[in-house]
């Protein structure tokens, strides 16, 4: 992509009203624009990041048997009335049409997925099933000041599972948990899994995936020696300094964290509400056990910025970065075009700052945007085919032959 052709560009100054790092950097670097509190436009850089996060999630959900669908955002009030959510879900956005019909904007999709899957799941042979989708959600959140980490409109991956019995849910939960940990580690995030009570949905157990960051809203206690982690906003059984109840080796430490994903055991709440009955192997009609599995895609993007930045800008993990390479030419010349085309031909995603502006601005914009590699084409490159290569997190560049750089990326 050529920066000279882009409408969205980095700015000199961060927005004054931004309270969090992700909001500041994402706006200043030209990834997003805020329409109002909690509602954002994703500009070309931002959209590329979302697509990269989605890709990782899709691959891991497909790998555990998920089947991708796309459910609507506009829901008839009736399905929400059936489960009681119309009156009990306080964050539900409701609207009335000009013909006086009531609708809700989807905050979650149990009310849609259950009657949909009821049509296809008739016997134990059809179980388990794991439909998922990646779709915008709407929630009337009271506070929305954490940048893209708490939106009133935000992108989520939500998977729903249908099981013959509790044992099968428990079996699948372990599989989903490993897949979630894989998703987050592919994004460069170390997620801790908490056990917590079921929140809005039911009295059943839920598990949260938490990433330590001051920008989060959850208070946790965790152990350095094992994976124990508890949400202390819900579970007050533990306190700071207690011996780890799991391994007994270390004392529990407090931290603030952001919930990037979670799993709820929904039990039979929704299968009963929609009278979804399935024949078991004895021919008896049972209500399937359901689970739901969310990952906040836009929130995760915000968390990545909170975790990976310095005073110059964002430092995107490789798998998430909007482009692998940020190409800068000191003087406009044919060599930069040649390298740009070569990188593209080799399948390397490249952003070329081909703008006719001060090169100092190009350098500071490159740091702000945060692609993993910065390449500089100088006068010398014309004769030697050598370019200046710098990893975003390093201070010192090195001179390298273009082909060697490409090969090093490919073998990485
Ligand atoms: P929270 O406690 O942060 O409000 P939640 O328990 O309401 O989250 P879920 O309903 O399970 O969350 O949604 C699944 C995932 O969607 C969460 O783990 C989180 O990553 C993300 N998420 C939830 N609410 C928001 C929001 N307002 N903005 C952005 N992401 C969100
Ligand atoms: Mg919530």
| CATH code, domain carrying 201 | 3.30.930.10
Q: What is the mean pLDDT of residues 68-86?
A: 98
Answer yes or no: do 347 and 299 share one domain.
no
Answer yes or no: do 373 and 402 share one domain.
yes
Position 16 pLDDT exceeds 50: yes
Position 201 pLDDT exceeds 90: no
Alpha-carbon distance of 380 to 386, in angstroms, equals 7
Answer yes or no: do 243 and 167 share one domain.
yes
Q: Which of 243, 277, 310 is the last residue of a domain?
A: 310
Q: Does the residue 137 lie in any domain?
A: yes
Answer yes or no: do 140 and 227 share one domain.
yes
* Domain range enclosing 276: 21-310
Closest-approaching ligand to the CA atom of 156? 1
Alpha-carbon distance of 288 to 280, in angstroms, equals 10
Q: Assign residue 405 a region (left: φ > 0; alpha: ψ between -120 and 50; beta: otherwise).
A: alpha
Answer yes or no: do 201 and 288 share one domain.
yes
Q: Does the residue 1 lie in any domain?
A: no
Q: Does the residue 338 lie in any domain?
A: yes
Say how many domains are in the chain.
2
Which tens digits make up the pLDDT trace of 205-248?
789 999 999 999 999 999 999 999 999 887 868 899 999 999 99
Answer yes or no: do 225 and 96 share one domain.
yes
Q: What is the pLDDT of residue 196?
A: 55
Answer yes or no: do 182 and 96 share one domain.
yes
Neighbours of 293 (CB within 10 A): 26
Please count the CA atoms within 13 angstroms of the CA of 375 that sit on its side-chain side.
30
Answer yes or no: do 283 and 374 share one domain.
no
Please count the CA atoms within 13 angstroms of the CA of 389 that sit on its side-chain side.
19
Closest-approaching ligand to the CA atom of 218? 1
Q: Assign residue 100 a region (left: φ > 0; alpha: ψ between -120 and 50; beta: otherwise).
A: left
Q: Does the residue 12 lie in any domain?
A: no
Q: What percent of the chain has pLDDT over 90?
A: 88
Contact 25, 314 (CB under 8 A): yes
Instruction: For residue 56, give Cα distances in angstroms to 160, 188, 313, 324, 369.
Output: 18, 12, 24, 16, 21
Token couple for 200: 């809005």
Q: Does the residue 192 lie in any domain?
A: yes
Q: What is the pLDDT of residue 412?
A: 75
Q: What is the pLDDT of residue 292?
A: 97
Q: Ligand 1 test: best mutation among 265, 299, 303, most atoms within 8 Å of CB?
A: 299
CATH of the domain at 340: 3.40.50.800
Q: Does the residue 301 lie in any domain?
A: yes
Label the pairing between strands 67-68 and 131-138: parallel
What residue owns the CA closest to ligand 1's atom 26?
A: 150
Which is it for the CA torsion 101, 106, 111, 112, positive or negative?
positive
Confidence band, pLDDT 50/70/90 cuts, at residue 202:
very low
Q: Is the CB of 259 under 6 A from ligand 1?
A: yes
Alpha-carbon distance of 221 to 228, in angstroms, equals 8
Helix-then-strand count for the chain, H and E = 12, 23
Q: Does the residue 249 lie in any domain?
A: yes
Q: Helix, strand or coil for residue 96? A: strand
Answer yes or no: do 55 and 104 share one domain.
yes
Answer yes or no: do 305 and 327 share one domain.
no
Which atom of ligand 1 has the smallest separation from the CA of 158? 14
Label the pairing between strands 253-267 and 289-296: antiparallel
The residue count for the chain: 412
Q: Which of 286, 310, 334 is the last residue of a domain?
A: 310
Position 198 pLDDT exceeds 60: no
Q: Is the CB of 370 under 6 A from ligand 1?
A: no
Q: Does the residue 31 lie in any domain?
A: yes
**How many Å separate Cα 17 from the centre of its chain?**
24
Contact 363, 407 (CB under 8 A): no
Name the DSSP letter for residue 4: G
Distance 141 CA to ligand 2 centre (A): 8
Answer yes or no: do 192 and 258 share one domain.
yes
Answer yes or no: do 386 and 300 share one domain.
no
């Amino acid at each position: 992509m050529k920066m000279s052709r882009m409408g969205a560009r980095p700015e000199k100054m961060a927005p004054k009203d931004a309270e969090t790092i992700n909001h500041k950097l994402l706006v200043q670097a030209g990834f997003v624009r805020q329409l109002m509190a909690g509602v954002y436009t994703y500009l070309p850089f931002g959209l590329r990041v979302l697509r990269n996060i989605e890709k990782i999630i899709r691959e891991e959900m497909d790998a555990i048997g998920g089947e991708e669908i796309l459910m609507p955002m506009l829901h008839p009030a009736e399905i929400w009335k059936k489960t009681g959510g119309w009156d009990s879900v306080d964050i539900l956005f409701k609207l009335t049409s000009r013909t006086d019909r009531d609708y809700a904007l989807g905050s979650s999709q149990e009310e849609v997925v259950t009657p949909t899957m009821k049509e296809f799941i008739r016997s134990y042979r059809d179980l388990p099933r794991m439909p998922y989708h990646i779709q915008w959600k709407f929630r009337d959140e009271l506070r929305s000041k954490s940048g893209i980490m708490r939106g009133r409109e935000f992108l989520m991956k939500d998977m729903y599972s249908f099981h013959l019995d509790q044992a099968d849910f428990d079996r699948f939960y372990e599989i989903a948990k490993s897949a979630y940990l894989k998703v987050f580690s592919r994004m460069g995030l170390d997620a801790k899994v908490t056990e917590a009570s079921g929140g809005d949905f039911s009295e059943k157990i839920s598990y949260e995936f938490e990433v330590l960051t001051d920008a989060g809203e959850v208070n946790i206690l965790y152990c350095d020696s094992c994976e124990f982690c508890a949400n202390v906003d819900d579970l007050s059984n533990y306190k700071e300094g207690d011996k780890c109840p799991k391994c007994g080796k270390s004392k529990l430490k407090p931290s603030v964290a952001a919930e990037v994903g979670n799993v709820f055991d929904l039990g039979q709440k929704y299968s009963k509400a929609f009278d979804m009955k399935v024949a078991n192997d004895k021919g008896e009609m049972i209500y399937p056990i359901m689970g739901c599995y969310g990952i906040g895609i836009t929130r995760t993007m915000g968390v990545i910025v909170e975790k990976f930045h310095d005073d110059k800008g964002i430092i995107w993990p490789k798998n998430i970065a909007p482009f692998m390479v940020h190409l800068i030419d000191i003087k406009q010349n044919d060599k930069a075009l040649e390298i740009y085309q070569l990188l593209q031909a080799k399948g390397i995603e490249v952003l070329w700052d081909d703008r006719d502006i001060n090169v100092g601005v190009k350098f500071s914009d490159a740091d702000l945007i945060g692609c993993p590699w910065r390449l500089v084409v100088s006068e010398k490159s014309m004769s030697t085919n050598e370019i200046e290569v710098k990893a975003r997190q390093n201070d010192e560049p090195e001179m390298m032959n273009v082909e060697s750089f490409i090969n090093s990326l490919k073998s990485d």
